[in-house]
Amino acid sequence: MPNDPQVLALMIPIVSIILGIGVAFWAIYWDFRTKQIKYRERELMIEKGLPIPPIIPDKKPVTPEDCLHRGIIMLFLGIGLGIGSVILLREQGGPPPWTCSIAASIIGLMGIGNLLYYFIARKRTSEDSGNDRKIIVS
């Protein structure tokens, strides 16, 4: 019976798992096709004798400003989860509050780590830019 709550309760996780796997396979296939098209384009350029442009990496390098951005977001997300943990401690019959506490500590510490990296990298780059010495070769 389609309106039976037990059948519906069984169908929701099954459908979500199947759709999740489907989306993952679709993303992998889409990445494969994109790379395949790029390589085919390069092959055609080689066959026609055209100059080949350099391969540009898909990902840009992580800058200290990226770490600052991520660190602030993670730190405040950890604080928010910590507040949620305190609220769950006061509620009765909800999910166990330790789940929120563990997530808050992990995410908050990752945010603090990103912020520490930002401050260390910023200090190091300012020192490197101040130490630009000209080398005279005779």
- The one-digit pLDDT tens for each residue of the chain (138 residues) are 556 778 878 888 889 999 999 999 999 999 999 989 988 998 999 999 988 887 776 677 778 888 899 999 999 999 998 888 888 887 776 677 777 888 889 999 999 999 999 999 888 877 776 655 444 444
* Per-domain residue ranges of the chain: 1-56, 60-124
At residue 6, the pLDDT reads 82
Q: What is the pTM of this model?
A: 0.52
At residue 2, the pLDDT reads 59
At residue 61, the pLDDT reads 78
Residue 65 near residue 72 (C-beta atoms within 8 A): no
